[in-house]
Amino acid sequence: MDDAEANILASLGRVRLCDLAAADGLPSDSYKMCVSALTQSLAQYSAAVVELPPADAALLRSGLDSARLFFHRRGYGSGDAVSGGGGGEDDAREWCKTSGYYSDPQMWLEMYDFRPGITAAEPNGAAELPPSGLPDIFSVLGKVSREVLDAISFSLNLRSCTFTELLDNIPLRSQEVSSSVLSACCHSRPSMEGAQQHSVASQDDEQLLMFSDQEQQIDKTLVTVVKSDRSGLYIKDLRGQWILVDGGLGPHDVVVYPGLALYQETAGYVNPAVHKIEVGNLQECVFGRCSLVFKLMPRSVARLSGSEMMAAGHGVDSQFQVPILVNDFMQPDHSANQLFPKNNEPSPHGEQEASYNFVMKRKKEGRKTKQLPPSKRLRLEAQRVLKERVQDIADKKGIKLRFCSLRDCESHTQSLERPCENIRIEVGWPPGVPFVHPHDLPNKAKLRFLEAYEPGWTASQQDVELSFTEP
C-alpha cells in the first residue's frame, strides 16, 4: 500500500459499532463524535469503516472461508448463468425474490444470494446447499446497516425510527420474504469458463488494474455493508477521484456506503456511492476475490419521498416531493441517469444542514462564486435565527411546530388556501395563535422580531460583517 492509499485510509471515518448504538435520553458525547465521524466520511468519501465486536468479526471470517470453499467446489458452466431460486436479477420485476446461485461471465462474478423467506433450489428441483453461517451473518450485518441508518437520521435531525416504514419487520412475520439480501460473491475465479480469454494482465505488469466490463455501479439500496478477503473495492470521492476503500483493513472492519434509495428518501442530502471492483491481478489466486455483501433494501410496497425531510425543515427540491413506489424505483427504466442528468453522477444538495457537516458544494474548475452582499447575508442569517427563535417559543408552549418550505408558499403568501393553512389544520394549531414562518415576514419585520428577543442583534451582525470586509 502506497502513501496515498495510507492517507486515504487514515482519513476514512472509522467508528465502532458499539458506539453507534443509540440510547434513551440525551445523546452522549461519544455518540455525537461517532455520528460526526461517520457522516463526514460519507460526505467526503461516500464510504466509512465500522469496527465490529470480536465475536461478529470471527463469524464473518468463518463465512468468507465457507464461501471460498463453496465456489471452489462448485463447477462453473454456461448453465449456471441464471440464478436458481428467484429467477435471476435480470427479471427486474422479481428483484426482491432473487435467491441461490448465479454467475455473470462479463463481470467475472459468481454469487450466492441468501434471502430469508425463500429456499433456494437447484435447476433439478433439489434443495441447494449454501455456504454455512449465512443466517447469522445476515443478522449481524443487518444490525450494522440499521445502526448506520439511524446515525444518518440523527445527523439530519430527523425523528428516530424515521426509516422504519421502509424496512422489513424484525423479525419477519409469517409468509414474509426479506427485501434485504446477503450475497456471497466471488470475483475472477480462474476456473470460470472463458476467464483466461478475458485476462490481459501479465506477470511483467503486476501493477495493471483490471476492472469488470460494467465499471461504474450505483446500488439501489439504502445502505450496503461489505466484508472481503482481499482489497479491490474502489469508490469515487467528492473530488471525482477513485479511491481504494478496503485496502489494509483490520480483521474486525467492514466497509459501509449509502445507496440510491437513501439518496431519494433524503431528498439528495446523502449522495450514493459510485463504485467498481478490481478484478485483475488475481490469476495466481485459485479462489479469486471473495466477499460478503449485505444490501439493506426498502420494502417493495413502500414509497420513497422527501416528506420526512420537509417535516424536519429541510429544503426539498421538486423532483423529490413526488412519492415513488419502491417497486417502480427498482426497475431498469428508473436509472441513476434520471436523478443525475449531468455526467451521470450524483450532485450534492444546494444547502446542507450544519448538523450533517457536509462540504458538498460542486464547483466548476476555475469558476468562483460571487460573494453575497452584507445586507443579503444579514437577511439570510436573520431568517435562520428567526426559525430557531420561533421553534423555541413553540417548544416552551408545548406546541408541535412544522415549517413548510419557502418554495411551497412563495406564490401563496396572500392566499387563504396557501400550504401553511393546510399545515395549521394538520398539526392542530390552536385558533388565534399566530402561525409564524420565516418567509411570512418581510425582511425588516424579521429584524424587528429578532431585536425584540435579542436587543442589539442587528448591530452585532453588522460588526461581524465589517470584520470580514476589513483587510
CB-side neighbour CA atoms (13 Å) of 396: 6
pLDDT of residue 89: 39
Q: Rounded to a whole number, what is the distance in angstroms from the first to the last CA of the chain?
A: 45
Q: Tell me what percent of the chain is helix, strand and coil, each rounded to the nearest 5.
A: 40, 15, 50
Q: Distance (Å, rounded) from C-alpha 9 to C-alpha 352?
A: 25
Judged against a pLDDT cut of 90, whether residue 399 lies above it is answered with no
Encode pLDDT of 302-358 as tens digits: 999 988 998 888 888 888 988 999 999 998 877 666 666 444 445 444 333 333 333
Encode pLDDT of 233-289 as tens digits: 999 998 889 999 998 899 999 999 999 999 999 999 999 999 998 876 555 566 788
**98 neighbors 133 (Cβ within 8 angstroms):** no
Written as nine digits, the cell of 184 is 456471497
Closest C-alpha to 252, from 31, 55, 12, 19: 55
Percentage of residues in the chain with pLDDT exceeding 70?
A: 56
DSSP 280-321: -S-TT-TT-EEEEEEEE---TT-EE-SHHHHHTT----GGGT
Average pLDDT, the chain: 75
- Burial (CB count <10 Å: 0-12, 13-18, 19+), residue 164: middle
Residues forming a β-bridge with 324: 304
264 vs 368, more confident: 264
Q: Distance (Å, rounded) from C-alpha 387 to C-alpha 436?
A: 9
Judged against a pLDDT cut of 50, whether residue 362 lies above it is answered with no
Q: Distance (Å, rounded) from C-alpha 193 to C-alpha 170?
A: 41
Closest C-alpha to 123, from 83, 163, 93: 83
Average the pLDDT over each of 5-19, 165-179, 401-415, 447-461 and give the range with the smallest value: 401-415
422 vs 459, more confident: 459
Encode pLDDT of 113-161 as tens digits: 999 998 876 666 666 688 999 999 999 999 999 999 999 999 999 999 8
pLDDT of residue 129: 82
pLDDT of residue 90: 43
* Mean pLDDT confidence for 180-203: 65
Largest CA distance in the chain: 81
Under DSSP, is residue 83 helix (H, G, I), strand (E, B) or coil? Answer: coil
Q: Distance (Å, rounded) from C-alpha 198 to C-alpha 252?
A: 34
Q: Distance (Å, rounded) from C-alpha 239 to C-alpha 242?
A: 9
pLDDT of residue 288: 83
Under DSSP, is residue 253 helix (H, G, I), strand (E, B) or coil? Answer: strand
Q: What's the predicted TM-score (pTM) here?
A: 0.69
pLDDT of residue 330: 92
The structural domains of the chain, ordered by start, are 14-73+96-118+131-192+215-338 (2.60.120.330), 374-467 (no CATH)
pLDDT of residue 108: 79
Judged against a pLDDT cut of 60, whether residue 194 lies above it is answered with no
**Winning range, highest mean pLDDT, from 194-208, 265-279, 391-405:** 265-279
pLDDT of residue 147: 97
